[in-house]
Amino acid sequence: MFINKYIKGAAIMLSALTLGSCASDYLDTPTHGTISAEDICKTPETARQAMLGVMGRGMAAPWSDYDFTVGQEFCQGETGLSYYIGELPGSDCFVNFIYDLAPSWVIYYNMEPGYLTAGNYVWNIPFWYHEYAMLAQVNDVLAGIDNAEVNDEADEIALRDFTKGQALTMRAHLLWRLLQVYGPRWVDSNNGEKPTIVLRTSPNDPQDMAVSSMADVLKRCYEDLDNAITCFNAAGKSFRTLNYEVDLNVCYGVYARVAALKNDWTTVRTMAHNARQGKRIATSAEIFNGYTSYNQNEWMWSPSFEAIDNFIYGNWCTFFACNAYGALNDRHTLTINRDLYKHLPATDERSNWWMTYDKLSGLPAAMFYSTVAVNPETGAFKNDRLLSAARAWLKERKPANITGADAYANATTGDQTTSIVRDGAQVKFWCNGETGQDGLCEIPYMRATEMYLYEAEACAELGLTSEAQNLLKEINVPRNPSYTCDLTGQALIDEVRFYRRIELWGEGFCWFDLKRWNVPMVRTAWKAGDINSGNMPVGVECNVPVDQNLGWRHGIPSSELNLNNLVNERVPGEQISQGAE
């Protein structure tokens, strides 16, 4: 058992991360062995091993290892947290499995008033502890690394600098994550004065600590990232050997993400540009391979693809890839919102990430809005003609490198009670392996195209019109040779936002982006006989205003309020003092 003094009352939930300074076995991962607590920063190499633990096991650790899950579906570490927080309540990526089996979950899908701010639902609580658990280990490394034993050998000194840069980058990343969820939008923050999260930067921090302002947390992120850049440059070379390690490029990318949270567009532009150096936009062959291998040319940071690091049921894709265990056995389907999809030109290759009715030849559009052919409660196809056409299209879209099952192979026949195929079903994410249980698919943490999009967004916001237009062309022409852009002003900003939603669909960004853009979340329901209606079940139709749940803020969990006597508000600064439950 590993007891983190920041959050002692939740220690039983955190044992898998093996984080905390009073452990006998500080780091315990299948790939990187075990390090005792007293040896964390004994040498630059032991500090590196500790950071490999937090970047590898820590980022990918299944929640089920904490005994903190209601089922196998809810256990995919950073990638899963990104999806359940950053996609599920957003507008663009609908997953049927919860709604079909438990319609009461609409209160989360639609962010009904008071739900997020209550701070005690199934995804809010592990997010808090997941991030603070990793933060504890990072702080332990930073507290000791300057005193790590070196023999004045250049490589040892360089490794110490590089590892310190990694730790500083990770701390900024974790604080950014916490602000995304528990903090306000910058435009709602009174120039950063609103209180947000507990800013823990030392293993000697007391359990009782007040929350810090958004400005103070962001200041710490900026300082950490500036110092990380200095450390990486001082190292003079990269020691990165694993896909899940951060390096100078990732540091710049985290900087762009943090600055975007503050609407600091000058910094976003610079850092996003720096981050993508040495990388490029993915080719069609690379982007349409099902996300089953690390793309050295475009991906910057990802979970491990190694079998020894494969958590199987703890892998997000085991449940949500189109040919994985969840799709084949548990009726999981990820669907794009037609309200978004309908604005994508048919000539854009990315349109083939989704099976939509316009691609199923010989079938009239009205058929897809008929209760005879479609289940009106779920939107799933129940007509043999539809299912046959869907099956043929899906078979054609299977990437050549995929050795596993076809997309939705067990779900393209049957009636309304068994079919899960619906208008907008995704084929962006695939698994290799016969059953999809091996999890050989990963959603990247960061890729270069995200940085191109941040740079374009910053240029559009700064009024650098031609630069933003050219970046959009660089991003989109490889997918749509006829793409051009002559938009200006708000229309140009909206264009960047649209293509960010398309390109990063399903990768954990939608809800976070809608929140920082200060725009409502909208889903339109499927309506019988109306070919201009949406494709969402009527139960998740909504238009969530920007001020709902106090500006889309999650409440601090009860256990933190119970343990930390200086935190007594669910949503700090919002004048709702609910006390510890």
Locate tokens 């315990």: which residue?
28
Question: CA angle at residue 35 from 34 to 39, to 5 degrees?
Answer: 170
Question: CA angle at residue 22 from 3 to 561, to 5 degrees?
Answer: 35
Phi, psi angle pair for 363, to nearest 5°: -115, 125
Q: Judge contact between 420 and 337, C-beta under 8 A.
A: no
Q: Which of 92-96, 253-257, 284-288, 440-444 has the lowest mean pLDDT?
A: 440-444
Residue 380 in 3-state DSSP?
A: strand
Question: CA angle at residue 358 from 355 to 360, to 5 degrees?
Answer: 65
Contacts of 152 (CB under 8 A, 6+ apart): none
* pLDDT score at 436: 57
* pLDDT score at 65: 42
Q: Across residues 344-361, what is the average pLDDT?
A: 95
* pLDDT score at 75: 54
Residue 397 in 3-state DSSP?
A: coil
**pLDDT tens-digit map of 496-541:** 999 999 999 999 999 999 999 999 999 999 999 999 999 998 888 9
Domains of the chain: 5-239 (1.25.40.390), 303-426 (no CATH)
* pLDDT score at 316: 74
**Would the pLDDT of 449 be above 50?**
yes
Q: Across residues 204-218, what is the average pLDDT?
A: 97
**pLDDT tens-digit map of 71-105:** 444 456 788 888 889 998 899 999 887 677 667 77
CA quadruple 32, 38, 44, 46: dihedral, nearest 10: -10
Q: Judge contact between 324 and 411, C-beta under 8 A.
A: no
Cross-strand bridge partners of residue 374: 381
Residue 345 to residue 55: CA distance in whole angstroms: 39
**pLDDT tens-digit map of 382-399:** 888 898 899 899 999 999
Q: Which of 91-95, 120-124, 251-255, 386-390 has the lowest mean pLDDT?
A: 120-124
* The one-letter amino acid at 452: Y
Residue 243 to residue 257: CA distance in whole angstroms: 20
Q: Judge contact between 510 and 87, C-beta under 8 A.
A: yes
* The one-letter amino acid at 22: C
The DSSP line for 182-229 is HSPPGGGTTTTTSB-S-----TT--S-----BHHHHHHHHHHHHHHHH
Residue 166 to residue 66: CA distance in whole angstroms: 25
**pLDDT tens-digit map of 156-193:** 999 999 999 999 999 999 999 999 999 999 999 999 99
* pLDDT score at 98: 66
> For residue 224, what pLDDT band results from cuts at 50, 70 and 90?
very high
Q: Across residues 531-553, what is the average pLDDT?
A: 93
- Exposed e or buried b for every residue in 17-43, given b needs 16+ CB within 10 A? bbbbbebeebbbbeebeebebebbbeb
**Would the pLDDT of 43 be above 70?**
yes
Residue 361 to residue 466: CA distance in whole angstroms: 39
Structure tokens of 41?
A: 């920063």
* pLDDT score at 264: 98
**pLDDT tens-digit map of 286-339:** 999 999 888 999 999 998 777 666 666 667 777 788 988 888 877 788 999 999
Residue 23 to residue 501: CA distance in whole angstroms: 43
> For residue 13, what pLDDT band results from cuts at 50, 70 and 90?
very low
Contacts of 339 (CB under 8 A, 6+ apart): 91, 522, 523, 524, 534
* pLDDT score at 123: 77
Residue 63 to residue 14: CA distance in whole angstroms: 9
* The one-letter amino acid at 207: Q
Phi, psi angle pair for 354, to nearest 5°: -135, 140
Helices (H), 246-383: 248-261, 265-275, 284-287, 316-320, 325-329, 338-341
For residue 452, count CB atoms less than 10 angstroms from its CB and return exposed for 0-12, middle for 13-18, buried for 19 or more.
buried
Locate tokens 């810090």: which residue?
212
Evaluate the CA torsion angle 149, 155, 161, 165 in order and state its sign: negative
* pLDDT score at 31: 44
Q: Are strands 542-544 and 521-523 parallel, antiparallel or unpaired?
A: antiparallel
* pLDDT score at 70: 40
> For residue 7, what pLDDT band results from cuts at 50, 70 and 90?
very low
**Would the pLDDT of 69 be above 60?**
no
* pLDDT score at 23: 33
**Confidence (pTM):** 0.92
**Would the pLDDT of 24 be above 70?**
no
Residue 331 to residue 325: CA distance in whole angstroms: 9
